[in-house]
Structure 1
Amino acid sequence: MKTLFIVTHPNMDTSIVNKRWIEELRKYPEKYTVHELYKAYPDGKIDVEKEQQLVEAHDKLVLQFPLYWWSSPPLLKQWFDEVFTHGWAYGSKAKALINKKTALAVTAGGTEHDLSVEGTLGKTLEQYLVPFETTLSYCKTNYRSFFVFYGAEHYLADNSDLPLILDRSAQGYVEFLDKM
């Protein structure tokens, strides 16, 4: 079975890190299915049955997105609201997500220090991601943590090491997935 990536980036054309991660994932089509929500649903009208079937067809689920106002882009929230239905994702008769290995892959504009207790807002990335972990746990998935790229906005400025940094991150992402 393969891992399904629900990639939710509202501006993938301008993305650097998420775009590079997707390029890496697509090197392994036998292992990974990349599903870009903004490409699949530019009008925001989600095909719930199709999405549920897609999730069910995979044994692992990774939600990949940029940290967007300390949460996810709005289409991922809508996806949760519409796809994770009672009786399918949660409730006494729900079985679709039980023990499915799940994880998050997040890009953050701020540095690791920024997203720490000592940082700008005094909160950690883990704290911002609690709603996702809670949702996945409530649906009885086997939540496996998250992979993160910190400081994305800092690397946009002239940085000759950027290709090397992106390659290392993409390789680290695949290593994280292999241990999932």
Structure 2
Amino acid sequence: MQIDKNNREKDLEIANLTRIQDQMIANITRLHDLEVANLTQIKDWEIAMANLIIANETKIQDRQIAEENRNEDRAQQYDLHYETLYSKYIEDISTIFYKQPYNQTIFTSEENKMLYIRRKTLMTLRSIDSERRSQLFVFLYENNLLPDQSSPNTTISLIGAHLKNITIESPVTGSYQFDYLSLQSLN
């Protein structure tokens, strides 16, 4: 019986040690699981923050791209508008000089024709950009319409004309010569 009692005590002692070991293992496992859960949560937060940052940067870039596209569209609209005004001017003036049958005109006198061309020119110069103003100035030169002291009745006055920021470049065929050009009171 003594042996049984000793065996029982040893069994109890072993059972207690095993229980303590199991509790320690369970505690260690629980702590490890908590640590893993905390690390996972931190990583999830870091990923969420990174995603927010990326989303915000993407949103900012999308807005910038949209703004650039709007500006480009606006610039193209202005360019088309200026080109339309310029083309219409060239067409109207060309019709007056070159497309009307000989001796048939809608103007009662040469003076009225030149006044119409002057008004049309001044309005168009105010309405277009500097690139097309430069082209229009060359058109006037090439059609002998620039103010010339030697032939004032066949040229137009540019008094009050908006010629700001025009650039006249020499053509491939030679240079422009503005002899007797008379530009007074220009804007």
Normalising by structure 1, we get a TM-score of 0.28
Normalising by structure 2, we get a TM-score of 0.27
Higher relative contact order (CA 8 A, sep 6+): 1
